[in-house]
Amino acid sequence: MTEYEFTCPECGQHIEINGPMRTAILSNGCPICSEAVGDESFAPA
């Protein structure tokens, strides 16, 4: 499964996630602060 590094531009949360989690974060926002995020918040791990 593809791994990504997510960094929230609002609160700075930094976590490694998988593809389904990436999709959920794009739909629902940061899991910590709920700020909406875009593709630029993800980098391949």
What totals of helices (H) and strands (E) does the chain contain, helices first? 1, 3
Which pLDDT score, from 0 to 100, does residue 33 have? 98
pLDDT in tens, 14-35: 999 999 999 999 999 999 999 9
pTM: 0.89
Domains of the chain: which residue ranges?
A: 3-44
Looking at per-residue pLDDT, the higher value among 45 and 32 belongs to: 32
Which pLDDT score, from 0 to 100, does residue 2 have? 82
Q: What does the mean pLDDT of the chain come to?
A: 96
